[in-house]
A and B are shown apart, each in its own frame.
Chain A
Amino acid sequence: MRMTITQTTHSLSRISFLSIILTLSFFIGVSQLRAQESDTSAIAAEQTQVPIANLGQITVTAADSPDDNGDRITVRWIDPGYRDLNGFTGYEIFRQSTTDGEFVLIGNAALVDTSFLDEKAPTGENFSYKISAVIGSQRQDSEASSPVSSVVQWFNWGKISVVIIGLLVCSAVIYFIETAKRGKKLFLRRIAGLEAIDEAVGRATEMGRPVLFVAGTQDMDDVQTLAGLTILGRVSRTIAQYDSQINMPCRSSLVMTAGREMIKEAYAMAGRPDAYSDDMVHYTTDEQFGFVAAVNGIMVREKPATCFYLGAFFAESLILAETGNSIDAIQIAGTAMPAQLPFFVAACDYTLIGEELFAASAYLSNEPKQLGSLKGQDLGKVVAMAAIVIGVIAVTASEAWQIDSMTWLADLLHRMFAIS
């Protein structure tokens, strides 16, 4: 009894200690927030109260937007300080066509903006632009910009680095495809998830339970769905050979149609066309969580021995994989959604991580042409690794010793590889 009382007292004292710490940290947080709020109010109070007339004009320039189809003009402005005034709410952008001669309001810009993209400027027509700073009920107009017209560009030079890198990788892919076609043996590392397909289907056959196949939750226009379907071909052929059963719920009608064709052909190839049924592949719903509910229901009721999740997945990945785990199914997943990969790794037996999903069809088919394309990918990785190492050296040298050539190199690499 004394022991119990002592233990309870210890527990209570621990809880009290934790409560004190949490309460203290809460009050510290609140006081810091209050301090920040008062700072913000002070800054607001300090905002300049300069009379509008003293600030001068807003300077406006307009120019044809680069790398477009000739229907965009970019308007930029320099604000002498209207944005710092109390009551300032934003800018109004006016456009004047040289043909009709009147300034017409075409859009608004927020407080922090310094440019506006006019996306409805027909090619060849001249336009002038004017900006109004809106301060309460007052407007401070700028001078009109010089007339400008948009021009069609035949190549998007902003994406030249993508073209160069793409061409490099594509050339390497084509080179290795040709090399493989000439009979050169190419080494491919083992992908455990794909090696386990036969074992997983075999388990379902032994247990007399079906195999569940989910080709992602996106439509046929997603490359991950295509990658998932190519693996379905191999899985369904094994299922047909083993005389097992497959259940493939689909979120999209097009995926359902493609899936049916694949399974039908797989059964025909295995010499058992009569064993195929259209009911193996069925549509459920386009709604994301409705689809999850349908698949989870199938799992709980039919208890498939093996579950495949191959394609694009979002928040549903963990719900599906954990339900599969709860029914003790062997699970093979593969996706190129980086945010969902940890969930699949945690809940599934095998996971095809990113590029492995796209490599699956080549790996499973063992065709030289397809294997060559995988080797070409490797050259792309070498380029990426080299760029990372050179970039790190250039940025470090530029920051530490202010070497101009290194700064130039770092900027070049940033321009080439930055996603715009």
Chain B
Amino acid sequence: MRRQVPLFIIICVGWVLLFSVFIPPMESWGEEASLFFDIIAVFAFFLGGGNLIRVHMMKVSRKSASWGYSVVTLVGFLMMLYVGLFKIGNPAGIGGSIDAKGSWFELMFTFVMSPLQSTMYSLLAFFVASASYRAFRAKNTEATILLLAAFVILLGRTPLGMVMTAWIPESFSIFQIPNMAIWIMNSPNLAGQRAIMIGIALGVISMSLRLLLGIERGYLGQEK
């Protein structure tokens, strides 16, 4: 019964969503099915919040390794919740919008949350450099081709690339570095990407069909 009921719901909702794409009067059915998911997800948020508090409280009470981070997490979570829920420091009072200009919630979001997020995102620049270094080491033929292609694209997107091959006559303009970069991006790169995308689309169709027919049940837990 624990597996049959969720399976029944999944199969019913799956078919409704599928038909709603092709039958215009059923469009709203599909939208409502998605809305139900959002409602369930909101309730599940309480589950997540509760879990977060429990896990970190336990770490603090047991004085587990690095428990100080758990204190920071708990203080941050509870403070944001308190300020947001009771609209503390909100110029419009309890009836005002949660992100009203000048409210504590807005200030905490703008001056704490956003910079922290940007900091994490900016790490990407350094990781791209270290990953590229490893990926472009010319260890074999394929890696050497990758390196050359990357070098051409890199040069092609800078003024230097344009200057270096500006002397090539117009009739051979394909050999100018910026044009070679465009060709690499639009032909071999796009062809490869499309091949992957076709494979993904077929994989999604096949997996969806397995879900709709109830063949794929792995995500519900394993058969005993």
Q: Which of B24, B27, B121 is the one whose CB lies under 8 Å from A315?
A: B121
Smallest Cβ-Cβ distance to A226: which chain B residue: B219
B209 touches A173 (CB 8 A): yes
Segment of A36-44, A111-119, A133-141, A350-358 in the binding face: A350-358
Complex alpha-carbon distance, A170 and B200, angstroms: 15
Smallest Cβ-Cβ distance to B27: which chain A residue: A69
A169 touches B205 (CB 8 A): yes
A376 touches B124 (CB 8 A): no
B196 touches A154 (CB 8 A): no
Neighbouring A residues of B120 by C-beta, 8 Å: 289-290, 292-293, 319
Neighbouring B residues of A297 by C-beta, 8 Å: 69
B48 touches A283 (CB 8 A): yes
Q: Which of B22, B49, B134 is the one whose CB lies under 8 Å from A347?
A: B134
A266 touches B215 (CB 8 A): no
**Residue-by-residue, is B7-20 near A (CB-CB < 8 Å gives 1, otherwise 0)?**
00000000000000
Neighbouring A residues of B34 by C-beta, 8 Å: 221
Neighbouring B residues of A353 by C-beta, 8 Å: 196, 199
A69 touches B198 (CB 8 A): no
Neighbouring B residues of A381 by C-beta, 8 Å: 198-199, 202
**Residue-by-residue, is A170-210 near B (CB-CB < 8 Å gives 1, otherwise 0)?**
10011001000000000000000000000000000000000
Interface of A is mostly: helix
Complex alpha-carbon distance, A290 and B65, angstroms: 21
B21 within 8 A of A: yes
Complex alpha-carbon distance, A266 and B198, angstroms: 34
A410 within 8 A of B: no
Residue total for B at the interface (Cβ-Cβ under 8 A): 66
B207 within 8 A of A: yes
Residue total for A at the interface (Cβ-Cβ under 8 A): 95
Smallest Cβ-Cβ distance to A320: which chain B residue: B127
B78 within 8 A of A: no
Neighbouring A residues of B186 by C-beta, 8 Å: none
B111 within 8 A of A: no
Complex alpha-carbon distance, A361 and B205, angstroms: 14
B159 within 8 A of A: yes
Complex alpha-carbon distance, A153 and B26, angstroms: 11
Chain B nearest CB, measured from A32 CB (Å): 10
**Which residues from 325 to 367 on chain A have a C-beta closer than 8 Å to any C-beta of chain B?**
336, 338, 341-343, 345-347, 353-359, 361-362, 365
Complex alpha-carbon distance, A354 and B215, angstroms: 21
A170 touches B209 (CB 8 A): yes
Smallest Cβ-Cβ distance to B123: which chain A residue: A319
Q: Which of B23, B44, B218 is the one whose CB lies under 8 Å from A257?
A: B44
A258 touches B219 (CB 8 A): yes
| 9 pairs of A and B residues whose beta carbons are closest in the complex | A230-B218, A253-B48, A355-B203, A25-B159, A358-B203, A283-B48, A253-B44, A289-B120, A346-B135
B contacts, CB < 8 Å to A = 21-25, 27-28, 34, 37, 40-41, 44-49, 51-52, 55, 58, 65-66, 69, 113, 116-117, 120-121, 123-124, 127-128, 130-132, 134-135, 159-160, 162-163, 193, 196-200, 202-211, 215-216, 218-222, 224
